[in-house]
Amino acid sequence: MRVDLHTHYYPAEYLGALEALDTALEITEDSNGNKIVKDRGARILTITPEMSDPTVRIREMDEAGIDVQVLSLSTPNVYFASDEDSLNLAETTNDHLSALCEESPDRFMCLASVPLTNVDYAIKELHRAIHELGMNGLIIGSNINRRPLNSEEFKPFFKEADRLGLVVLVHPMTPVGVELMYEYGLAPLIGFVFDTTLAITRMVYSGMMEEYPNIKFVVAHLGGAIPYLLERIDNGYRAYPECRQNLSAPPSDYLKELYYDTVSFHQPALMCAHQTVGAGHMVLGSDYPHVIGSMSKSVSSILGLELPQGEKQMILGENALRILRRNNGGEGETRP
């Protein structure tokens, strides 16, 4: 079975809120008539019709050979509004996604968004999404309105996600330093992947992976630059005392326990990740239906790798099914 863990769905109510709420986001159009969402002047989202159309989505899944998609919000998630509006947006989105999964349980699974601008609200919605709606895990941003994920304020949230052993997809948000990325659409092309790299590196050095060993963190876009920089990150541990103070082992020991989605499609990069973390820690991802995503490439890039068929099957679906919480209340594996 082929399970695409990194796909996005935007309910119509959510898209309407992007324009209706009084926020710092800007809505414009590109030369093709697509609506563009900008944050601090940088393009962060192109709204496409497929984002809210499950019928088209299923047809294109069939064409690409995808059995199941895991649906989630993407940037800007629900962090751009007031605490109350963010909670309402999370509830609306999670209700919509869970209803789609109920209607097509053989085609869709889903990850919940939570309003991390207010940790109490986030924990409340985490429980509702997992226990009442039967969602399969969580998606969070690589930064929460420029606040890093290893900030003290987020600890109660991660403690609860760890207690439940949840899958948590870390997805990029508008990066710090976005002012340098206005030209050429550099925020999603370059900024996003390096914001993820920064977030995960901070998390591992701060000891979060050791503190919350039962969270199955999935790192978007093949982990950004982490597979490529793994030895350099370990060098920091060896050279700088501040990089050792929260760890009992080198960073690579923890980074190899994370899961990396295959939203890269570049086979040398995929092989770098494979040689770094192994097939058991890679999961299929397409970034569909973003304009720079592709379901067909997500599959063909894995099928074209020089790997044993069993390892390809692990990446294409077995790993995702193993770690995702199931609608029947069952849980994926828990790390020792």
DSSP for 285-303, written as a single string: ---BTSTT--HHHHHHHHH
Give the angle subtended at the CA of 132 by the CAs of 58 and 83, to the nearest 5°: 90
The token pair that represents 259 in the structure block: 């899961």
Residue 41: C-alpha distances to residues 78, 90, 109, 141, 187 (Å): 19, 25, 33, 19, 10
Helix (H, G, I), strand (E, B) or coil at 274: helix
CATH homologous superfamily of domain 3-9+53-323? Answer: Metal-dependent hydrolases (3.20.20.140)
CB atoms within 10 A of CB 216: 26
Classify the C-alpha dihedral 129-131-136-140 as positive or negative: positive
Question: Of 153, 164, 69, 158, which Cα lies nearest the Cα of 108?
Answer: 69
The token pair that represents 165 in the structure block: 């052993």
Q: Which sequence spans correspond to the domains of the chain?
A: 3-9+53-323
Give the type of residue at 28.
T
CB atoms within 10 A of CB 86: 24
The token pair that represents 274 in the structure block: 């494979």
Residue 143: C-alpha distances to residues 42, 191, 252 (Å): 16, 12, 22
Query: What confidence score (pLDDT) does residue 180 get?
Result: 87
Question: Which contacts (CB < 8 Å, 24+ apart) does range 53-58 have?
Answer: 54/9, 54/100, 54/103, 54/104, 54/108, 57/9, 57/288, 57/289, 58/104, 58/107
**Pairing mode of beta strands 42-47, 35-39:** antiparallel
Sequence-ordered list of residues with C-beta below 8 angstroms from that of 24, at least 6 positions apart, any chain: 39, 40, 80
The pLDDT averaged over each successive group of 10 residues in the chain (336 residues) is: 97 90 88 86 87 94 97 95 96 97 97 98 98 98 96 98 98 90 89 96 97 98 97 97 96 98 96 97 96 93 96 98 74 39
Q: Alpha-carbon distance 256 to 217, whole Å?
A: 11
Q: Alpha-carbon distance 36 to 252, whole Å?
A: 38
Q: Alpha-carbon distance 306 to 108, whole Å?
A: 29
Half-sphere exposure of 211 (CA within 13 A, CB side): 17
CB atoms within 10 A of CB 90: 27
> 327, 105 in Cβ contact below 8 A?
yes
> 42, 195 in Cβ contact below 8 A?
no
The token pair that represents 118 in the structure block: 């207010």
Edge-to-edge strand ranges of the sheet holding 68-72: 3-8, 68-72, 108-110
Q: Alpha-carbon distance 138 to 238, whole Å?
A: 33
Total-model pTM? 0.94
Query: Looking up tokens 């630059």, which residue turns up?
Result: 225
Sequence-ordered list of residues with C-beta below 8 angstroms from that of 131, at least 6 positions apart, any chain: none
